[in-house]
Amino acid sequence: MIIHVLGQISYKEGCLEKVVQNLREWENKELVQEAIIEIIDVHQRYIDFSDKTAEEAQIYISKHL
């Protein structure tokens, strides 16, 4: 459930950056990977409402996580 919630938070303006910043501190790397998948998927599903495209989200995550 937490993975889904992170995805839902991340597509709003300015929130991807905060979510990624917090994910860097997580010790459970398996959950981090699941969160990344969900975040990118949410950005794709909510493309009309998302601050970034799925591709932009993936690029940001790759650079900062």
Per-residue pLDDT of 25-43, as tens digits, reads 999 999 999 999 999 999 9
For residue 7, what pLDDT is reported? Answer: 95
The pair phi, psi for residue 17, each rounded to 5°, is -60, -40
How many Cα neighbours within 13 Å face the side chain of 9? 16
- For a pLDDT cut of 90, what percent of the chain falls above it? 97
Is 38 within 8 Å of 4 (Cβ atoms)?
Answer: yes
What the block records as the tokens of 63 is 């650079």
The per-residue pLDDT for 23 is: 97
Helix intervals (H) in the chain: 2-10, 15-23, 29-45, 54-64
Over its length of 65 residues, how does the chain's per-residue pLDDT go in tens digits?
Answer: 899 999 999 999 999 999 999 999 999 999 999 999 999 999 999 999 999 999 999 999 999 99
Contact 47, 53 (CB under 8 A): yes
